[in-house]
């Protein structure tokens, strides 16, 4: 099958993609770029096989029903893995979570699947209206730069399709849990590292994992990390907002 090649950019890093299926070019429609590519990815048969094994293993671990493993679907997963691996060289790490933008800053909520991170960020958008938007609802990139840590949109954004091609300063990260009452507290780096490690991309190489751990260390030193126990309510947004910003809630 003829290869389809194009240039996209994530986290301000352009790269070339070579793929076989036109739907995977369409997948990157909002991220196409005319910038000078810094790397290239081209999934092969081994990458598709690894993608299938990884996907089915994840579905079994989470007790979920797997989707049909068509070749375009597996190629998309393989692209996700190859790009995440390459982005490590640009001090950029993929993380599982729902990132919401508010007043020019990003707030990232991470949790185990099914806890309600997407529901919580939807409440932020409802409460704050035009001041807020969904940056990415499942897998944003976190870019560590001299000027700070930035949350970046990607097309891998979960079942609701919520994402935007934007790069915003990351204000804070919260580990979301269900609770009967709304409460938030800061976590020390030692408390936060197990959660961060479990929710971030893991490289298949020793050198890659060294880079992942270095980036996680930089995140914990530069971005406040919280534990948020919450209900599904506007008050949960108030508690999260006040705890993560130190600002008083004003409707």
Token digits of residue 161:
């399709």
Q: What percent of the chain has pLDDT over 70?
A: 99
Task: Determine the Cα–Cα distance for residues 108 and 117; give it in Å rounded to an integer.
Answer: 9
Q: What is the pLDDT of residues 146-176, one digit of tens each?
A: 999 999 999 999 888 999 999 999 999 999 9
**What integer pLDDT is reported at residue 61 of this predicted model?**
84
Q: Note the helical H segments in 41-144.
A: 45-62, 71-87, 117-128
What pTM does this model have?
0.94
Q: Residue 251: what pLDDT?
A: 65
Task: Look over the chain and give the mean of its residue pLDDT values, rounded to a whole number.
Answer: 94
Q: pLDDT by residue (tens digit) across 43-64? A: 999 999 999 999 999 888 888 8
The pLDDT value recorded for residue 1 is: 67
pLDDT at 249 over 80: no
For residue 59, the model assigns a pLDDT of 87
Please write the tens of the pLDDT for every residue from 82-126: 999 999 999 999 999 999 999 999 999 998 877 788 999 999 999
Q: What is the pLDDT of residue 116?
A: 82
Domain parsing of the chain, residue ranges: 4-90, 92-245
Residue 8: is its pLDDT beyond 80? yes
Is it the case that residue 182 has pLDDT exceeding 70?
Answer: yes
Tokens at residue 165, please?
A: 């091609």
Q: Which CATH class is domain 92-245?
A: alpha beta
Secondary structure (DSSP) of 210-248: HHHHHHHHHHHHHS-EEEEEE-SSHHHHHHHHHHHH-PP
Q: Please give the pLDDT value at position 84.
A: 97
Question: Parallel, antiparallel, or unpaired for β 141-145 and 148-152?
Answer: antiparallel
Please state, in angstroms and rounded to a whole number, the distance separating the CA atoms of residues 52 and 72.
11
């Amino acid at each position: 099958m003829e290869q389809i090649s194009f240039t996209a950019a994530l986290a301000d890093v352009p790269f070339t993609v070579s793929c076989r299926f036109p739907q995977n070019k369409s997948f990157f429609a909002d991220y196409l770029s005319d910038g000078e590519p810094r790397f290239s990815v081209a999934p092969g048969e081994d990458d598709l096989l690894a993608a299938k094994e990884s996907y089915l293993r994840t579905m079994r671990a989470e007790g979920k029903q797997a989707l049909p493993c068509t070749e375009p679907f597996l190629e998309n997963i393989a692209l996700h893995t190859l790009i995440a691996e390459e982005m490590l060289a640009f001090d950029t790490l993929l993380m599982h979570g729902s990132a919401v933008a508010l007043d020019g800053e990003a707030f990232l909520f991470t949790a185990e699947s099914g806890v309600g991170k997407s529901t919580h960020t939807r409440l932020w958008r409802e409460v704050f209206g035009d001041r807020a938007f969904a940056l990415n609802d499942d897998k944003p990139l976190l870019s560590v730069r001299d000027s700070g840590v930035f949350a970046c949109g990607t097309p891998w954004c979960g079942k609701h399709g919520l994402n935007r091609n934007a790069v915003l300063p990351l204000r804070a990260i919260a580990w979301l849990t269900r609770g009967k009452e709304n409460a938030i507290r800061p976590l020390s780096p030692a408390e936060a590292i197990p959660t961060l490690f479990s929710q971030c991309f893991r490289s298949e190489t020793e050198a890659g994992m060294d880079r992942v751990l270095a980036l996680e260390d930089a995140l914990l030193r530069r971005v406040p990390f919280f534990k948020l126990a919450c209900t599904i309510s506007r008050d949960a947004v108030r508690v999260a907002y006040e705890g993560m910003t130190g600002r008083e809630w004003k409707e």
